[in-house]
């Protein structure tokens, strides 16, 4: 992920909205309980390749996917130069526009399942 995506400090948890107090939580965007829930989320991964799973987890760990409204998220591209609107069912990234499942969609599924 891009360094700019990892240097942003969040004041509220991206999952539950509570105020974040620790430096680590502010950097990741999740409080300890929410971070554990996101890490331990069980999502059907059968349609995704191993590199997509790893990229989705990295996107979440870097707080490079943030909720916009209900099931829609803003996700940062791998190189950090673009942002995409994504949901569990679609994404406006190049892969998503072709109708393929992308790691942005998987990250959105993981966050919504947590």
Encode pLDDT of 55-90 as tens digits.
999 999 888 998 888 899 999 998 889 999 999 999
Mean pLDDT for the chain? 86
Domains: count for the chain = 1
Choice among 12-16, 37-41, 95-99, 108-112 with the minimum mean pLDDT: 37-41
Domain with 57, as residue range(s), is 3-113
Helices 103-113 and 50-61 cross at an angle (nearest 10°) of 60
Task: Tell me what pLDDT residue 8 has.
Answer: 64
Q: Give residue 2's pLDDT band: very low, low, confident or very high (50, 70, 90).
A: very low
């Amino acid at each position: 992920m891009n360094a700019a995506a990892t240097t942003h400090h969040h004041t509220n948890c991206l999952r539950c909205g509570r105020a974040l107090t620790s430096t680590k939580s502010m950097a990741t965007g999740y409080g300890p309980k929410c971070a554990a829930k996101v890490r331990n989320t069980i999502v059907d991964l059968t349609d995704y390749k191993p590199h997509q799973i790893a990229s989705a987890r990295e996107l979440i760990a870097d707080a490079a996917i943030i909720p916009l409204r209900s099931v829609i998220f803003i996700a940062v591209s791998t190189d950090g130069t673009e942002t995409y609107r994504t949901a569990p069912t679609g994404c406006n990234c190049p892969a998503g526009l072709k109708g393929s499942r992308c790691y942005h969609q998987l990250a959105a599924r993981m966050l919504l399942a947590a």
